[in-house]
Amino acid sequence: MSVNVRTFARLADAAGALASERSARFLGGGTLLMRAVNEADPAIETIVRATDPSFSQISASSARIELGGGVTMAAILADRDLAFLHPAARAVGGPAVRTAATVGGNLFAPSPYGDFATVLLALDAIVIVAGGFGQQEVPLEEFLGRRDRTSSLAASIVFKRPAAQALRFLKVTRVHPKGISVLSIAAQLPVAGGRISGARVAYGAMDKTPMRAKAAERALEGRALDAAGVAAAVAVATDGTAPVDDAIASAWWRREILPVHLRRLLLGVGLL
């Protein structure tokens, strides 16, 4: 079966083409999509591409950061203004994958993939969704919960620069340095007067998509980042999680080790 490839100069036109055909898929870096095409996935009849230069642009010079959906992990790693994102970008596959893998594509990568989307969730990111009639701003958490996501074009992702040292990320894998996640955890931990205020904690591979750890966030509010202060959050670490059994780990194992790694992350033990 042949596959049509449609290339558009404007993101709005690409978004229109994507939305108009159920069997169309948008091409990011192709690390997952081209594998599906090569395996002759019958659900894919059309590939939509965009050459709009804004799609691969990074705007990181101010407090508001915008990453085009087509920005690659390698481009993030080459940008010193984005050093706080480097641990998460470096966690996506090996060098060849990172050269092609995009920020937009990571929002769609099935669990246990989605390491970069996990850190974006902890940053309270907003997805700018392109449409034939303009753009729409959708909170990432809501975007990840949408069933019809494959017909939406993620044009860019916007978030506020976190305070220095406030963002933490860890990935648990069986194969170092580039294995697939058993789980990943990202946390934005703003501290005011020695107390956490407005924590955001997100997990990868603990549900069908990256998810917020809301019970842990609540338990951290007003606490100090020490062993006593993080104990309540660690006690509710698995609340709301729904991991799956897969070739990487069982759901049971993911739940067993999550509190251990959340505690390590919150106390800053062994982070890169």
Ligand X SMILES: Cc1cc2nc3c(=O)[nH]c(=O)nc-3n(C[C@H](O)[C@H](O)[C@H](O)COP(=O)(O)OP(=O)(O)OC[C@H]3O[C@@H](n4cnc5c(N)ncnc54)[C@H](O)[C@@H]3O)c2cc1C
The pairing of beta strand 167-173 with beta strand 200-204: unpaired
Angle separating helix axes 227-235 and 251-266, nearest 10 degrees? 160
Residues 187-246 that bind ligand X (CB under 6 A): none
Query: Does position 162 bind ligand X by CB under 6 A?
Result: no
Determine the residue type at 257.
I
Pick between residue 19 and residue 232 the one whose CB is nearest to ligand X: 19
Can you tell me which of 11, 17, 28, 182 binds ligand X, judged by CB under 6 A? 28
Phi, psi (degrees; rounded to nearest 5) at 17: -65, -40
Minimum Å gap between C-beta 55 and ligand X is 8
Pick between residue 106 and residue 209 the one whose CB is nearest to ligand X: 106
Minimum Å gap between C-beta 195 and ligand X is 33
List of E strands, 161-252: 167-173, 181-188, 191-192, 195-196, 200-204, 211-212
Give burial (CB, 10 Å; 0-12/13-18/19+) of 45.
middle
Query: Does position 19 bind ligand X by CB under 6 A?
Result: no
Query: Does position 33 bind ligand X by CB under 6 A?
Result: yes
Can you tell me which of 12, 21, 30, 207 binds ligand X, judged by CB under 6 A? 30
Can you tell me which of 11, 87, 105, 205 binds ligand X, judged by CB under 6 A? 105
Pick between residue 69 and residue 243 the one whose CB is nearest to ligand X: 69
How many residues touch ligand X (CB under 6 A)?
30
Residues 63-102 that bind ligand X (CB under 6 A): 69, 91-93, 97, 100-102
Q: Which contacts qualify for 228-232: CB closer than 8 Å, 24 or more apart?
A: 229/196, 230/263, 230/266, 230/267
Pick between residue 60 and residue 97 the one whose CB is nearest to ligand X: 97
> CB-based contacts of 60: which residues, under 8 Å, 6+ apart?
66, 79, 81, 82, 161
Q: Point out which residues bind ligand X (CB under 6 A).
A: 25-33, 69, 91-93, 97, 100-102, 104-106, 108-109, 113-116, 150, 153-154, 180
